[in-house]
Each structure stands twice: as structure tokens, then as C-alpha cells.
Structure 1
Amino acid sequence: MLDIKFIRENKDLVQAAAEKKKIDFQVDELLAVDTRRLKVLAEVELMRSEQNEANQLISQTTDPDERQRHIAEMKVLKDELQLKEEKLKTLVKEWQQLMIRVPNVPDMSVPAGDDDSANQEIKVWGDKPQFSFSPKNHIDIMTGLKMVDLERGTKVAGFRGYFLQGAGVRLSFALWQHAFAMLRQAGYEEMLVPSLVRREPFLGTGYLPQGEEDLYQTQDGDFLAGTGEVATMGYFMDEVLPLSALPKKLAAWSPCFRREAGSHGKDTRGLIRLHEFYKVEQVVLCEARHDESVHWHEELLKLAESYMQSLNIPYRVVVNCGGDLGLGQVKKYDLEAWVPLEEKYRETHSISYFHDFQARRLNTKYLDAEGKNHFVHSLNGTMAATPRLLVALIENYQQADGTILVPEALQPYFGQTKIGFDN
């Protein structure tokens, strides 16, 4: 959420932001409602003041007839005030619904574009494997090594269902443990966060109302989160942090759930696009300065890159275009791993910063050195998302005999150097 004063003073900038992000929003509509809201609010406050004066006058009047006349006048005022307050209530509700739809302003460096096809490559790392044999896709490899059972997954969980088994499970745990070890060394605090979350943190992080169709909702009105970011940000909702607590660096693990409502026909086989998966997420809260946000955005990207480099999986980094940014994102990088059998890079990490967009909606503040309150700036980024990450790892590390080499960085956690048919 943006400050209404900022929106009024920079309406052209905010409208341009909506257009760059390809979001259907008219700033003039919001400002018209805000003008009416402020007018009626002023009228209500004036009438309340008059009501207080009338109450005081009645209490001081001793003549019965005069007192009765004042009471009758006050009843008229009270009835008018009640109608005006109902009008204000309706306007405030309309204003709030428009306010939560206002997009954040993207950074000047964000390229223009309609969708992810316009994202710009800024870095490529690693050598793509050159196979001396006909390589297989991750489905065939993992099925042959009894690491996954997609057929029974569909039988039990429906479309996009899966079971990981044996080495598939152990490799997933190794990826998470390695991610946590790197984050712990970088000063991050580990958290295991809820996936079942109330509506308020979803509104606060910007996943509602726009993203509701991609969320699973319970009969109690709660939602299943598609990222640990939601619960982790909600953890600090309605709190004021001391300056000494910043930057707050958190490593959140959680099961994640997405309906993939807009992905019909995409990645219908395999482990790329699933309804249920697991993530280690980086979340940072920092001081409310643009340079501080930019610094931590680059740090989150550096950590994600270090993780992929430690696994020796080829990848590239893209900066996302305006049309591929969410409502609250100022700027986002995607890190995409090379998938040999598809002969293309596939997204495995997203890393974003928001300025105070989320904190303003969640009412998360900090106290500066002068004792003044400010909304924190927030950032988040993927560290390890599984089983999607298994796809690139297994296809890049496959061997001619159908086995898989285990990346050296994972061997202490996995306990073996190779995944074979006897695992």
C-alpha cells in the first residue's frame, strides 16, 4: 500500500506504474473517492463538534422549556449525523478497496514488457553438460531409480500429484540442509512457519485480493500459502521493532500450495509445476532507505547464486519486466536453472524488494535513533524450492548408466557420492 499523500502528489507516477505493470487501475477514480471521503469526514467531524457543544448546552440549561427545545434540536442533529456517518462508512469502504489495489512504483531500471518473455538476461553462469550418450528427462531417471511415483501420486492426490521416495526424499532433505547451512553462516535465523494462514497476512503481503484465484481456501476463511514469505511477514504484523533489530534476516521453511489456476496445459508432466511443494525462503526487514533495499536485494541474489554455484548447476539471471512484476514489487530478479532435456532455462528462484509497501499494509514499523516510527522495508527471495530444483540437478548430473552423481556440496548431508539402482 502506498501513502495517500504520496499518491495525490505523484498521481502521474502511480498511473504510469500501473500501466508499466499492466495492472488495470485508474488513479483518478481513487482520488475522486478520496476527495469525497475527506469532504464527508470534515462534515462528520464538524457535526460531532456541534453535538458536543449541544450536549454541554443542555447540561447547563435550567429552564425546562428551553432545555426541551435544545433536546429537540439535538435530536435533529443526531439523526443527520447518523446518516452522514453511514455515508462516510460506505465511502471509507470503497476507498479502502481501491487503496489495496494501488500498485507499487517499479524502479527506473525495470525494463518495459508485457510478460516474462520480455525479461532481460543480465548474467549467465556455468557450463552446460555435454553428454556422450542420449540423456533422459528427470521423470524417466527418477522413476527408474525409484525416486518418484507420479502414477500413484495422481491416484492419491489428483492432477499434479506425486510421491517422492528413497533417494528422492534424501536428496530433498540434503538440498534444504545445505541451504540452511549457508544461510546460517550468513547470519540468518531459521524459522519453520505455518502454511495455513489467516486472511490478514495475505492482504498485507499483497497476495490478496488480486491473487485469490491461485490460493486454496478453507471453509473457515483461511488460506494455504504459496510461500513462507506470507507467514514470516505476518509474524511482525502490528509490531514496532527497535533499530538494533535491523536488518532482520530470516530463513523460513514451509510446505507451499498453489492452485496454478492460470497454468492449464503448462508443464502437465514431471516436477516443474505442482500444487504442493517445499521452500526455504529468505526474508529481510531493513531500514526505510532505498539504498538499503537495493543493497539487500543484491545480497539475496548473491546468496541464491552462491547456492547454485555450490551445486555447480548452470543458470542465468534475468531482471523481470514491468508486466512480470507483482502488485507490490519494486524490482525482481529471477534465477533460472538449465534443464538439458528441455534445452532451456527454467525459473528456480525469485528475489524481490518492496520498499514499505508490505509493511504499511501490515503495520510493521521500527523506531529510529531519534525515537521516530518508520515503516520497515521488506525483501524476500527463494533459497531452495523443491522438488523443482531436483529437475535441473538430476538432469545435469545424470550418467550414461542411468545413475546420478551427487553434487559434492550435498554429499555430507546425503551420505553418498552417487545415486544408483541399489539405493
Structure 2
Amino acid sequence: MLDPQYIRDHLEAVKANCKNRNVAADVDRVIALDDERKRLISAMQVKQQEANASAKSVGQEKDPAKKQDAIARGRQLREEVGQLDAQHKQVEADLKAVVSTIPNMTHPAAPIGALPEDNKVIKVWGEPTKFDFKPKDHVTLAEALDLVDFEAGSAVAGQKFYFLKNEAVLLELALIQYAMDTLLKHGYTPIITPDLARVDVLEGIGFMPRGEGTQIYSIANSDLCLIATAEITLGGMHRDQIMDEAKLPRKYVGLSHCFRTEAGAPGRDTRGLYRVHQFTKVEMFVFCTPEQSDAIHEEIREIEEAIFQGLKLPYHVIDTCTGDLGGPAYRKYDLEAWMPARGKDGEYGEVTSTSNCTDFQARRLNIRYKGPKHKGTRFVHTLNGTAVAVSRCLVALLENYQQADGSVVVPDVLRPWMGGRERIERKS
């Protein structure tokens, strides 16, 4: 979240930022509530001083009648302090709720807009795959090669669930190992995270675990939710901690299942693996100083690109427009891989993203650092990025590596984990 003092000092800029990001937030109410909060704190301090003085006078008073009056006065003052404290807590809660609706500030280079065409393509790698036959979509390929069972998944868990089978299982494990090996070479610490997190952790990261339109599955009769990404658990791992600046940046690569309700998701991607309720993802997460975050954001994007270049999958990178950033992101890049059977004649589809969230999440989760250059503590910056979201990567792999006979060639970089398989063919 933004600091209320920052909002006060940059009121018009915050309002303009909300407009650019298509967010309806009552910024002026933040100032009004912050003023009321300060007034109540001052009033409590005055009343507490009076209560302390009254308590002291009780011990010094010799006259019984006056002593009783002092005791009664002290009791009244304590009640008034309690009433002011209750009002203060309510105003604090109201202030936090309003501030939580205000998105992060935006990088000055981020394109302004809210439509897909407002996103800016900043890099293209490779040419869209060409075929001398009509390419099949990944669903047709996967079912013919006995790689995915959508019908059984639906019968067991409902629509948008599936069973991976045979070589698809090996492909998932190979993609995970390939991504992990890549990240280890860049100094990332591997983590397997819980698949559940508390509601306040999700809120700290910037997710809305409750309410209409949420993408989060909640566990009944508990404050736990299934995570939508390891960003949630990795970000929450150091909540309420103070880090040593000398040990920053801290770079983690997390492996987890991801669960999403896909409430209100576009209807065009209901078929197949592109938009599902459960998938496996390898996620990067970094804690760093404010001075480091812009450079690390570019580093994460370069790692994502290196992974897909290694897979030899054509892609482009977009600088995401303000209306599609999401609340915590200061800047976000999406990497979209070419999917030959997507749409009418093939389209790019999002497979990874990376966001610099500056200190937005750290303020909510109270994650700070200290070092010799600064008095006291400062909030860290947090960044996240997808190394591999397996289900969407499988879409791109199957469609780009398909052959005229319906088989699928295994990318060279994955073969060490595929038991020597170079091609996936129909079962006899």
C-alpha cells in the first residue's frame, strides 16, 4: 500500500495515477481519515496525561472525600481514553481499507491505457512457426497422443481440471527441472512452498481472497486459502522481519501448485490447458533495496526470455499498460509465446509475467531492512516473475513442435529429463 503521508504530499499525482489505472478510489477520504486519526491520537495523549495526573493525586490526597472525587475522576478519564482508543482503532481500520483500494504508483515509461492495443511490444524473438500442413490445437494433439484426460478431470473435480498422463508428466517434470537449473545458475535459492496461505498474507501481497469476482479458493471454516501463485507464499515468508542490507538482494525460486477460480475469465480460452483451475508453476521472487529493484526487474525479464529462447519458442515481450497492471505492480512485463492454433491463424498468448512492486507489498507485510547508510529501517522492494507456468508452456510446446504425422518433437533442452525420448508418438 502507499504511505498516507506520501498520498498527502502527492495528492494530485495519486489521483492522476488512479485515473490512468482505471481505479475508482476515494483519495480525498484518505486525507480526511488521516486527519481524524491524528486528532484522536492527540486527544488520547491529552486524556492519558490527565488520567496519569489524576492517579498520582489519589495517592497524595489526604482528605477522604477529595480522594473519592479523584478516584471517580480517574475512572471517568480512563473510560474516555478507552472510548477514544476505540474510535481510533475504527478510524485506523477505515483508513487502511481506503488506502488498500489505491494502487501502486506507476513507472513513467509504462504505456497509459486500458485496452490490449495499449500494451507496447518492446521485443520480438523468433518468427512464428510455419507448417506445410494445417496445425492442430494442443487439445487435439494431447488427446491423440494420450497426454491429457480432460474428461476424467471433469468427472473427478469439475470443468477446467485435467489429468496429465504419460509423456506429459515427464514434460512437466522436465520443465520444472530446466527452470530450476536455470535459476540456480543465477543465484536463486530453491523453495517448495505451502499450497495454502492465510487471508492476511494474500491481502498483503495484493490479492482479494473474499468477495464477488475473487480468483481465490477459500477453505471453509478457516482463514486459509489455496494460493494462486507462489508469489503469495514467498512474499509472506519474511513478513514482520527486518533484513540485513548486506544480504540483499534475496532471490528465491519457488515451486508450487496454483489454484484459480477464473471467475469472470474470458470465454475464448475455456478449451484446453490455457485457462485452468490448477497448474504447477515455478516462480521467482526477490527482496531488495529500492536502488536495486529496477535493474533486478530487467534481470528477471532476461531470465524469462532465456528460458523460452532455450526452448526455441517464438515470443514477444510487452510493456503492460496502466489499466492492466494490477494493484501492486509499479511496472509489469508480459512474455507471450506464439501459439499456432490459438485464434484463427495463430496468436501470441501470455506465458510469463514479471512485476516490480516497489515497497507496495512490503508496507502491507511489514518487511524492512537496515544498514549502515540509513538511520532506522526502510521498506524493502519486492519483485516477482514467472519462470515456467507449466500448463501454458505445454500449450506452446505441443503446438509449435507438432509434426505432420501428429507426433511432437521434444525440445533439445528438455531431453535430459525425458528418459532419452526425442519424440512423442501415438501409442500402439
Q: Which moved more, 1:368-377 or 1:315-324?
A: 368-377
Q: Distance in 1 between matches of 2:4 and 2:282?
A: 35
Q: Which moved more, 1:1-10 or 1:262-271?
A: 262-271
Question: What is the identity, as a one-letter code, of the residue corresponding to 1:406?
Answer: V
Counterpart of 2:372 in structure 1 is 369
Q: Distance in 1 between matches of 2:73 and 2:149?
A: 78
Counterpart of 1:54 in structure 2 is 54
Question: What is the identity, as a one-letter code, of the residue corresponding to 2:422?
Answer: T
Q: CA deviation at 1:389?
A: 0.6
Matching of residues 241-252 of structure 1 within 5 Å: 241-252=243-254
Deviations 1:164-187 (A, max 9, x none): 100111011111110001001111
Counterpart of 1:288 in structure 2 is 290
Counterpart of 2:230 in structure 1 is 228
Q: CA deviation at 1:132?
A: 1.1
Question: What is the identity, as a one-letter code, of the residue corresponding to 2:312?
Answer: N
Answer whether contact 1:368 1:374 (CA < 8 A) is retained: no
Counterpart of 2:359 in structure 1 is 356
Answer whether contact 1:174 1:410 (CA < 8 A) is retained: yes
Aligned residues: 421
Deviations 1:191-245 (A, max 9, x none): 0001111112111111136887110000112111110010001111111111222
Q: 3-state SS of the aligned residue for 2:136?
A: coil
Q: Distance in 1 between matches of 2:301 and 2:88?
A: 46
Q: Any unmatched runs of 5+ in structure 1?
A: none
Matching of residues 314-329 of structure 1 within 5 Å: 314-329=314-329
Counterpart of 2:217 in structure 1 is 216
Q: Distance in 1 between matches of 2:296 and 2:144?
A: 42
Question: What is the identity, as a one-letter code, of the residue corresponding to 1:215?
Answer: I
CA spacing shift, 1:47–1:339, aligned 2, 3 Å: same
Q: Distance in 1 between matches of 2:33 and 2:139?
A: 54
Task: Give the percent of matched residue pairs that are identical in Structure 1 and Structure 2.
Answer: 38
Q: Distance in 2 between matches of 1:390 and 1:89?
A: 50
Q: Distance in 2 between matches of 1:79 and 1:351?
A: 51
Counterpart of 1:417 in structure 2 is 422
Q: CA deviation at 1:264?
A: 5.2
Counterpart of 2:388 in structure 1 is 384
Q: Distance in 2 between matches of 1:153 and 1:210?
A: 26
Deviations 1:61-110 (A, max 9, x none): 12212212222332332333333222222212211211222211011111
Q: 3-state SS of the aligned residue for 2:267?
A: coil
Counterpart of 2:241 in structure 1 is 239
Counterpart of 1:4 in structure 2 is 4
Answer whether contact 1:153 1:162 (CA < 8 A) is retained: yes
Q: Any unmatched runs of 5+ in structure 2?
A: none
Counterpart of 1:302 in structure 2 is 302
Q: Calculate the TM-score normalised by the size of structure 2.
A: 0.95
Matching of residues 90-239 of structure 1 within 5 Å: 90-208=90-208, 213-219=214-220, 220-239=222-241
Q: Distance in 2 between matches of 1:8 and 1:43?
A: 22
CA spacing shift, 1:264–1:315, aligned 2, 3 Å: closer
Q: Distance in 2 between matches of 1:193 and 1:375?
A: 23
Q: 3-state SS of the aligned residue for 2:317?
A: strand
Q: Distance in 2 between matches of 1:361 and 1:118?
A: 30
Deviations 1:268-291 (A, max 9, x none): 1111000001100011111122xx
Q: CA deviation at 1:309?
A: 0.3
Q: CA deviation at 1:19?
A: 1.1
CA spacing shift, 1:210–1:119, aligned 2, 3 Å: farther
Q: 3-state SS of the aligned residue for 2:280?
A: strand
Question: What is the identity, as a one-letter code, of the residue corresponding to 2:111?
Answer: P
Question: Does residue 402 of the first structure (1) align with residue 406 of the second (2)?
Answer: yes
Deviations 1:30-75 (A, max 9, x none): 1111111211221111101110011011111122122122223323
Q: Calculate the TM-score normalised by the size of structure 1.
A: 0.96
Q: Distance in 2 between matches of 1:240 and 1:359?
A: 11
Q: Distance in 1 between matches of 2:380 and 2:412?
A: 39
Answer whether contact 2:258 2:281 (CA < 8 A) is retained: yes
Q: Which moved more, 1:329-338 or 1:57-66?
A: 57-66
Q: Distance in 2 between matches of 1:91 and 1:18?
A: 23
Q: Distance in 2 between matches of 1:20 and 1:339?
A: 31
Root mean square deviation, CA, Å? 1.5
Counterpart of 2:397 in structure 1 is 393
Deviations 1:280-329 (A, max 9, x none): 0011111122xx21100100000000000000000000010010011111
Answer whether contact 2:209 2:217 (CA < 8 A) is retained: no
CA spacing shift, 1:215–1:258, aligned 2, 3 Å: same
Q: Distance in 1 between matches of 2:128 and 2:209?
A: 41
Q: CA deviation at 1:405?
A: 0.7
Deviations 1:346-394 (A, max 9, x none): 0000100011111111111112124631111110000000111101111
Answer whether contact 1:288 1:374 (CA < 8 A) is retained: no
Question: What is the identity, as a one-letter code, of the residue corresponding to 1:282?
Answer: M
Q: Which moved more, 1:226-235 or 1:11-20?
A: 11-20
Q: Distance in 2 between matches of 1:337 and 1:393?
A: 10
Counterpart of 2:71 in structure 1 is 71
Q: Distance in 1 between matches of 2:192 and 2:115?
A: 33
